[in-house]
């Protein structure tokens, strides 16, 4: 997992990392509209992965992406990608500011926060959408459950509103006792965990993986990042 690698690089190999995916991704192959699109929109790396092996033919080469990691994945899949460097709102602002005329195609999961296609269409940039992957909830792993039932503080990075909501639901079922240090990618993610009895909740300065890492380092070391 790339995020775990980033943490290890910055904090050292002694860092204990337990990975417990809250969702399993399965790819779908929807029918596409019979028309040419100016660009494709990606709001997640999973969206890129869903089409990376050529499942959907006839896609445009230009990809407008929500953030740097998604844009990097799109480039690796052969797209000419541009990053909005943020969240769905940042992507909407970038698309409207760059003079895109459309039509655009948003390839997304079955559960998203915000209506990218609707906002862009309302702004005069015709945008269609198709669901290319499904996210099925998964229980916490035994290792994660044991950790959360212990007494040692646990730092929990949460990257999406859905994963935050699933984590909040999972916590309620396992009798967690560990002090929770929650790190949310954005204010929208933090909303889903606001009711948890956490020892600390922090929101990353920017909705980017590197900012999440910086926030975790601040928590671990007690020193604010420059």
Please indicate whether residue 111 or residue 22 has the higher confidence score (pLDDT).
22
Q: Say whether pLDDT at 226 is over 70.
A: no
At residue 41, the 3 state secondary structure works out as strand
Q: Say whether pLDDT at 81 is over 90.
A: yes
Residues 118-160: tens digit of each pLDDT:
999 999 999 999 999 999 999 999 999 999 999 999 999 999 8
2-22+138-221: CATH, from 3.40.50.300, 3.20.20.140, 3.40.640.10, 3.40.50.10090: 3.40.50.10090
Strand pairing of 62-65 and 39-42?
parallel
- Kindly report the pTM of this predicted structure: 0.80
Average pLDDT rounded to a whole number, residues 69-91: 91
Strand pairing of 23-27 and 127-137?
antiparallel
Residue 32: DSSP 8-state:
P
Structure tokens at 153: 């503080």
pLDDT band, residue 180 (cuts 50/70/90): very high
Alpha helices, DSSP H only, in the chain?
Answer: 2-11, 45-51, 68-76, 88-97, 116-122, 142-148, 161-171, 187-191, 209-221
Could you tell me how far CA 54 lies from the centroid of its own chain?
A: 23
Report residue 97: phi and psi, to 5°.
-80, -25
Beta-bridge partners for 128: 105
Residues 6-44: tens digit of each pLDDT:
778 887 767 788 999 999 999 998 988 889 999 999 999
Residues 6+ apart with CB under 8 A from 221: none
Please indicate whether residue 100 or residue 75 has the higher confidence score (pLDDT).
75
Residue carrying structure tokens 């009895």 = 197
* Cα separations in angstroms, 50 against 113, 134, 165, 188: 19, 10, 24, 25
pLDDT band, residue 224 (cuts 50/70/90): low
Stretch(es) of the chain classified as CATH 3.40.50.10090 = 2-22+138-221, 24-136
Query: Mean pLDDT across the chain, nearest whole number?
Result: 90
* Cα separations in angstroms, 51 against 44, 85, 90, 136, 137: 12, 21, 23, 19, 22
pLDDT band, residue 101 (cuts 50/70/90): confident
CATH assignment of 24-136?
Answer: 3.40.50.10090
């Amino acid at each position: 997992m790339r995020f775990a690698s980033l943490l290890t690089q910055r904090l050292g190999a002694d860092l204990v990392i337990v990975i417990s995916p809250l969702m399993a991704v399965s790819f779908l192959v929807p029918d596409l509209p019979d028309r040419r699109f100016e660009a494709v929109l990606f709001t997640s790396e999973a969206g890129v992965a869903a089409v990376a092996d050529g499942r959907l033919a006839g896609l445009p080469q230009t990809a407008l992406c929500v953030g740097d990691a998604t844009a990097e994945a799109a480039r690796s899949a052969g797209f000419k990608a541009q990053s909005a460097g943020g969240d769905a709102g940042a992507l909407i602002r970038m698309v409207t500011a760059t003079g895109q005329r459309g039509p655009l195609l948003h390839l997304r999961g079955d559960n998203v926060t915000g209506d990218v296609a609707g906002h862009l269409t309302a702004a005069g940039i015709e945008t269609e959408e198709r669901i290319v992957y499904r996210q099925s909830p998964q229980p916490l792993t035994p290792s994660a459950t044991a950790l959360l039932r212990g007494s040692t503080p646990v730092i929990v990075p949460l990257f999406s509103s859905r994963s935050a909501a699933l984590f909040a639901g999972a916590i309620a079922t396992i009798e967690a006792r560990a002090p929770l240090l929650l790190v949310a990618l954005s204010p929208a993610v933090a909303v889903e965990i606001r009711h948890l009895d956490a020892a600390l909740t922090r929101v990353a300065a920017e909705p980017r993986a590197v900012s999440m890492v910086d926030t975790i380092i601040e928590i671990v070391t007690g020193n604010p990042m420059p």
